[in-house]
A = this chain, B = another copy of it.
Amino acid sequence: MSKFENVTITKEANIYYDGKVTSRTVEFLDGSIKSLGIMLPGEYTFNTADKEIMEIMSGDVEVKLPGEEWRTLVTPEIFTVPANSSFEIKIKSVTDYCCSYIK
């Protein structure tokens, strides 16, 4: 199990899609932000503000990035989403992720 040390975590969860997607916000000493989250089976669309580096730690996932076709991930796998865009994701089994927001 990997750990993030010397971080600040927001106690309350971020809750989306009736709780089928939830996350907690982690802030690092350099001011950078990640969210650690869980997605349950379903299809979701997310809009980005910052560029996002999505690390899917476990789960069965298909993703459609802007201008690309649907593709199946082989987790653990990382994909990157441009700022001010959106992506679609199909979750087939419980999915554990870490999203890094890049300013």
Q: Is the CB of A4 within 8 A of B15?
A: no
Count of chain copies: 2
Q: Is the CB of A11 within 8 A of B2?
A: yes
Using an 8 Å CB-CB cutoff, how does the interface string of A13-43 with B read, 1 for contact, 0 for none?
1010011101010110000000010101000
Q: Considering only CB atoms and an 8 Å cut-off, how many residues of chain A contact the other chain?
A: 29
- Report B-chain residues with C-beta under 8 Å of the C-beta of A94: 15, 18-19, 22
- Report B-chain residues with C-beta under 8 Å of the C-beta of A38: 13, 15, 19, 22, 38
New A-B pairs, 17, CB < 8 Å, besides A6-B6, A7-B7, A19-B38: A1-B12, A2-B10, A3-B8, A3-B9, A3-B10, A3-B27, A4-B8, A4-B11, A7-B8, A9-B9, A9-B26, A9-B36, A12-B57, A15-B96, A18-B94, A22-B38, A38-B38
